[in-house]
C-alpha cells in the first residue's frame, strides 16, 4: 500500500526544550531543523506530499516573544532557505488564513511559491494560521458568496472551496509528543486518514521513526467504510 501524502502535527518542541533546561525558543529551532530532515527522508522514500502544521489559529494566544520567534522562523524558511528546496526539486505550498499573517510573511509566501513552482520531486505543504473549523467555515462562506444555493452544495464543492482543497487527502497523520487528538488538523481532508500517535517529542523524531510509521501504515486495512 503506497503512502503518497504524510501529514504531521509536530508537537512537543517546548517540552523538549524544558526537559533539557533550554529556552523554549530552542525547541522551536530544533523542530524547524527536523522538518528539513523529514522532507529529505520522504523524498528518498517516494512520498510525494509532506504536510506540516506550522502555526495554528490558536497559537496567537502564546506569548508575544514566542509568536515573534515563530514568525521569524517561518520567514527564514520562506526566504533564506529557498535554495534548499529548489536544489532538491521540492515545491513549497502554504495553506491557511494567509491574509491575517504579517505583511512580510504574506509577501514571502507568494514569492516562495512562485520560486519553487517547478519542483517535480515532491511538495512540502506548510499550514500557517490554520485551523480545521476555520477552514470549513471559510469554505462555506466562499460558496455562499458565489451564490450557490444550499441544496446545490456537494462534498466535492466544499472540498474545492477549502484552503487545502487541491491537496490529496492525507494517507497518514502523525502527531508527536503523546497527545492523542487532532485538534482540528485536516478536519475535512483527514476524515479517512490513518492516525499514529508517538510519545517522542518532535525534535527527537528520527529516520527510524519514519520507517516504523511506514511499516505500521502498510499493516493497516483501509476499507473507507466498505
Binding site annotation covers 60?
yes
* Residue 56 in marked binding region: yes
Q: Is 14 annotated as a binding residue?
A: yes
Q: Is 57 annotated as a binding residue?
A: yes
Specify whether the CB–CB gap between 82 and 112 falls below 8 A: yes
The answer on whether 62 is annotated among ligand-binding residues is yes
Q: Is 58 annotated as a binding residue?
A: yes
The string of DSSP letters for 92-149 reads EEEES-GGGS-HHHHHHHHHHHHHTTT--SEEEEEEEEE-HHHHHHHHHHHHHHTT--
Task: Tell whether residue 15 is among the known ligand binding residues.
Answer: yes
Question: Is 53 known to sit in a ligand binding site?
Answer: no
Q: Which residues are catalytic?
A: 11, 59
- Would you say 30 is a known binding-site residue? no
Residue 13 labeled ligand binder: yes
Decide: 122 and 48 in contact? Cβ < 8 Å.
yes
Q: Is the CA virtual torsion 86, 88, 91, 95 positive or negative?
A: negative
Consult the annotation and say whether 5 binds a ligand: no
**Residue 183 annotated in ligand binding:** yes
175 contacts: CB under 8 Å, gap ≥ 6: 8, 9, 11, 181, 182, 185, 195, 196, 197, 198
Long-range contacts of 211-217 (CB under 8 A, 24+ apart): 213/172, 213/174, 214/3, 214/45, 217/1, 217/3, 217/171, 217/172
- Give the residue ranges of the annotated binding site for substrate: 12-16, 28, 56-58, 60, 62, 175, 181-183
- Give the residue ranges of the annotated binding site for Mg(2+): 11, 194
- Give the residue ranges of the annotated binding site: 11-16, 28, 56-58, 60, 62, 175, 181-183, 194
Amino acid at each position: 500500500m503506497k503512502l503518497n501524502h504524510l501529514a504531521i502535527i509536530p508537537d512537543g518542541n517546548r517540552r523538549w526544550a524544558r526537559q533539557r533546561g533550554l529556552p523554549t525558543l530552542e525547541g522551536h529551532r530544533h523542530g524547524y531543523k527536523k522538518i528539513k530532515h523529514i522532507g529529505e527522508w520522504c523524498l528518498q522514500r517516494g512520498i510525494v506530499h509532506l504536510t506540516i502544521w506550522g502555526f495554528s489559529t490558536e497559537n496567537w494566544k502564546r506569548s508575544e516573544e514566542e509568536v515573534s520567534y515563530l514568525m521569524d522562523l517561518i520567514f527564514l524558511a520562506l526566504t533564506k532557505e529557498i535554495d534548499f528546496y529548489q536544489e532538491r526539486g521540492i515545491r513549497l505550498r502554504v495553506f491557511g488564513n494567509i491574509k491575517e499573517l504579517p505583511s512580510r510573511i504574506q509577501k514571502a509566501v507568494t514569492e516562495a511559491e512562485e520560486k519553487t513552482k517547478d519542483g517535480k520531486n515532491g511538495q512540502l505543504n506548510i499550514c500557517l494560521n490554520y485551523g480545521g473549523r476555520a477552514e470549513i467555515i471559510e469554505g462555506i462562506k466562499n460558496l455562499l458568496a458565489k451564490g450557490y444555493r444550499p441544496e446545490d452544495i456537494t462534498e466535492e464543492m466544499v472540498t474545492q472551496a477549502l484552503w487545502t482543497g487541491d491537496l490529496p487527502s492525507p494517507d497518514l497523520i502523525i502527531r508527536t509528543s503523546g497527545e492523542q487528538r487532532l485538534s482540528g488538523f485536516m478536519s475535512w481532508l483527514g476524515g479517512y486518514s490513518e492516525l499514529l500517535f508517538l510519545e517522542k517529542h518532535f525534535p527527537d523524531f528520527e529516520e527510524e521513526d519514519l520507517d516504523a510509521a511506514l511499516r505500521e501504515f502498510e499493516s493497516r486495512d483501509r476499507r473507507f467504510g466498505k
